[in-house]
Amino acid sequence: MRDDDFIAPELPADIAPEDLDIGARAQLKTLTKENAEFVAKHLAAAAQLIDDDPQLAHQHALAAARRAGRIGVVRESLAITAYTLGDFALALRELRTYRRITGRDDQLPLMADCERGLGRPEKALELARSVDASTLETPVRVELAIVKSGARLDLGQKEAALEELRIPELQKDKAFEYSPALFASFAGVLEELGRDEEAAEWYALADRAIDALEAALAPGELESIGITTERIESEDVDQDGLPLEPTEIDAPSVPADDPASDDPAADESVESPAAGAPADAIVDAGSRDVTAGEGAEDAPADAAPADAVPGEDEADAVALAAAAPAAEPAPVADVEQPEAAVGETVEPTAPAADDALFGDALFGDELIENEGGSPRAGDER
């Protein structure tokens, strides 16, 4: 690392420490502020130049390594630039140091490939088998399979090279960031085996995977989904968005030929299900209203006529059912309800505000569906 004749390359004027990946910058916190900024700028310059000018990128990595040789990301950057230049011995040495500092195996495929570059495919396979592949992240595991396949080819083991690539990630119908390289490697081995038709198919799949990934990563191509929150209120819904409990009230029947059926006031009769109706007849929140006219259609043919006056006992029972709150029934003696006159509708007594079962605290940020299927509140992986 130490070379008195080494001169650090000039930094581009527009380079800044913030150009370095935030994860890499976090590793530089052990350095002084001035030194950390110097190292970050050289690492950022190396990352920007690695494809266009790998030699200059290597010089920037060397400059960073001279000032922060005990930082893992610095030794990793130097190894990558050396590998790009074909200096596999330096790259392998730096990768071993990186692995010792960080304890990570994410650069194991590159280490094995350096062994191949040094003409030692057996050591490459031995190094690749030194770690349980299931403990590696998927992209690293795929890269390691490709390197192992290449080492088998170096040894002339073509069938074994093909088997090294038969991993669960080799799927024709799905494309991931590692898929193009995996498909192309599989096609190359098939070509070595003389199976040109199959090789052409996998090369085509590799090209399609590249196009699919580029289209997915193109700016503006990704779908944007917005979440809105809305509180739904209805006459049939209490303050918490739950359906009101039905009140059993006998709605007077209205014959079809009665003029009162055409009166708009008749449509405002009763919004609760008729007495004796099944539980399924309870109206969902905001869905529909039950009117006296609809009750007349379901009434039997021998139902009492509209001008029939309910008896005293029946009226008292109706009044008691209407006045009783859902949570705590009131005493019979405290309930007074007028008898239903001819053609009039008995209005149910609304429960007091203190009898509410739930508070507004139920409305949170999560999307919860009520018993009627209508969303209450929303939220947004």
In single-letter form, the type of residue at position 234 comes to S
Task: Tell me the C-alpha distance between 73 and 80, whole Å.
Answer: 10
Which domains does the chain show, CATH number per domain? 1-104 (1.25.40), 105-218 (1.25.40.10)
Task: Tell me the C-alpha distance between 124 and 155, whole Å.
Answer: 11
Contact in structure between 124 and 161 (CB atoms under 8 Å): no
Which pLDDT belongs to residue 225? 40
Q: Which of 103, 102, 115, 173 is nearest to 144 (CA)?
A: 115
Which pLDDT belongs to residue 109? 97
Task: Tell me the C-alpha distance between 229 and 240, whole Å.
Answer: 15
Task: Tell me the C-alpha distance between 340 and 306, whole Å.
Answer: 12
Contact in structure between 320 and 332 (CB atoms under 8 Å): yes
Which pLDDT belongs to residue 104? 94
Q: Which of 254, 237, 257, 253 is nearest to 245 (CA)?
A: 237
Which pLDDT belongs to residue 78? 97
Question: Could you read off the pLDDT tens digit of each residue along the chain, which spans 381 residues?
Answer: 555 678 889 998 899 999 999 999 999 999 999 999 999 999 999 999 999 999 999 999 999 999 999 999 999 999 999 999 999 999 999 999 999 999 999 999 999 999 999 999 999 999 999 999 999 999 999 999 999 999 999 999 999 999 999 999 999 888 899 999 999 999 999 999 999 999 999 999 999 999 988 888 765 544 434 334 455 555 554 555 455 455 444 444 444 444 444 444 444 444 444 444 444 433 444 444 434 344 444 444 444 444 444 444 554 544 444 545 444 544 444 444 544 444 445 455 544 444 443 344 444 444 444 444 444 444 443
Tell me if the pTM is above 0.85.
no
Radius of gyration of the chain (CA): 39
List residues bridging with 249 in a β-sheet. 274
